[in-house]
Structure 1
């Protein structure tokens, strides 16, 4: 989530960006490679670009700070942060090729500022249609800022740590096993495999030769799995085995007849906080918004005329 400090400074450019107008305007006259969302190829260098770069000795884009001024229109300064925001809005291909498209992005921001000044000079600011759109934009900014502030207050390291403890309690370690199997069409074929195994045959090779299942070419390898991941008959037989042993009787399931070899048994390790951070953050965000909406609805003053029974408020 973006820092709230970025949303406190509100001017016309971010409003146009939210409305989608800036994205459309920025795309105009940009090179075809940048407009193609499926392309990540580098832009071809223009003739003389190397010489111009050496002459201007401009610092690389990667070294610029958010506050670096990269353009001016009168007393209005355009910063590197504004260019990055524009590139991010337009799509990942612009960020991937930022150095090549950067001068054009700066020019587009300059052009938009020039258009804004022309509109002000033409006295359009007081036009009813303009005032209506500005009011709509103000409502969007206020609403989004309120939601962002509530979410930022809720998603703290302390809240994440507490939610992580709840997650571990609700998802305790489970026993999981690593097994191989040989799937056969009938019981007699399965018994023949067991006889060969008791005679010293190699399980992996027998699986490659005789198994009719998709894991056959891999020696019947099923990897690690918990009990609930397999059909009941198969799981019960696999989890009763000791590591290194195989089933002495064929195991029948809806898929056919199995001979199972257990290779390992262990307890699952819970994921770390960082591994589930995004999931827990999303849970807190959703919970925060839902609780906020519930409080606002309970405060009264609102009525959904298409939901007289109030069923939607339960969602």
Structure 2
């Protein structure tokens, strides 16, 4: 949280005298002071304390912190009471009010942890197809022309070492690593490369393949089916996803059920009419 409630000491220097009031237990709505008819409540004091970021201030004894915060709120209330509430101030207050209420609603929706059945359903939805995705382990040599690629393929057919040729001839970033690309799924590669790899058998070397990056000679080492992670390994991520979906669904439900009337015909350029904010 920010610190919107603390006023600079230089803002108001005059002392404020408050008339003692007999305390009654009213919970967060308990009035701790009034300024020109404005109530300062215990709830406001608690929220103000939550906004304090200075450890030295937060660790003050309760009485000292109480006196300091109440003095600040009294000063704030006295200054706020003198404010001229033009259109800009009214708009800002309403935006802050709605944002605070909306944030509170979202927090309430997200308070309930997802049930185990919800987590399992989401997990199944995400990873149901995991075992059907083939991953490839391959290496390649990338050159600029088809002629260069054909010459490299001929050398490999004659028994040249793939890794050594990749180190000396490949222009790609994997060249110094003997052309190794590690494990990847087809959708991680550009289509011509992915199609060529999918048509190969492990242990074979492709004919030259053209992509937007140049010409490739590919060696397919191994294939495997992708394994889904255990639910326990991704529980936190799944839980956050389910909560996010529940919040979004509830927000959409509230919007769908709201009675909304949009004023038509307003010129969008009026967004720039900042002079209107000073109008009464």
Normalised-by-shorter TM-score class: 0.5 to 0.7
- Following superposition, the deviation at residue 138 of structure 1 comes to 8.2
Q: Which residue of 2 aligns with 1:158?
A: 117
**Mapping for residues 1-315 of structure 1, pairs under 5 Å:** 18=1, 20-21=3-4, 90=53, 102-103=55-56, 105-107=58-60, 112-118=65-71, 143-153=102-112, 155-169=114-128, 173-247=132-206, 249-305=207-263
- Following superposition, the deviation at residue 296 of structure 1 comes to 2.8
CA contact (8 A) 2:130 2:227 kept: no
Mark the runs of 5 or more structure 2 residues left unpaired by the alignment. Answer: 9-41, 43-47, 84-89, 267-280
CA contact (8 A) 1:180 1:219 kept: yes
Distance, in Å, in 2 between the alignment partners of 1:169 and 1:211 is 38
Larger Rg over CA atoms: 2
- Following superposition, the deviation at residue 209 of structure 1 comes to 0.6
Higher helix share: 1
- Following superposition, the deviation at residue 174 of structure 1 comes to 0.6
Mark the runs of 5 or more structure 1 residues left unpaired by the alignment. Answer: 1-17, 26-75, 77-81, 91-100, 309-315
Question: Residue 196 of structure 2: SS of its match in structure 1?
Answer: helix
Q: How many residues align?
A: 220
CA contact (8 A) 2:192 2:210 kept: yes
CA contact (8 A) 1:174 1:226 kept: yes
- Following superposition, the deviation at residue 275 of structure 1 comes to 4.8
Distance, in Å, in 1 between the alignment partners of 2:208 and 2:60 is 74
Distance, in Å, in 1 between the alignment partners of 2:7 and 2:205 is 65
Compare relative contact order (CA 8 Å, sep 6+) and give the higher one, 1 or 2: 2
Distance, in Å, in 2 between the alignment partners of 1:202 and 1:141 is 66
- Following superposition, the deviation at residue 128 of structure 1 comes to 5.5
CA distance 1:217–1:169, change in 2 (3 Å): same
Distance, in Å, in 2 between the alignment partners of 1:251 and 1:121 is 76
- Following superposition, the deviation at residue 185 of structure 1 comes to 2.5
CA contact (8 A) 1:173 1:270 kept: no
- Following superposition, the deviation at residue 183 of structure 1 comes to 1.4
CA RMSD after TM alignment: 4.2
CA contact (8 A) 1:211 1:220 kept: yes
Q: Which residue of 2 aligns with 1:12?
A: none
Question: Residue 110 of structure 2: SS of its match in structure 1?
Answer: helix
CA contact (8 A) 1:154 1:288 kept: no
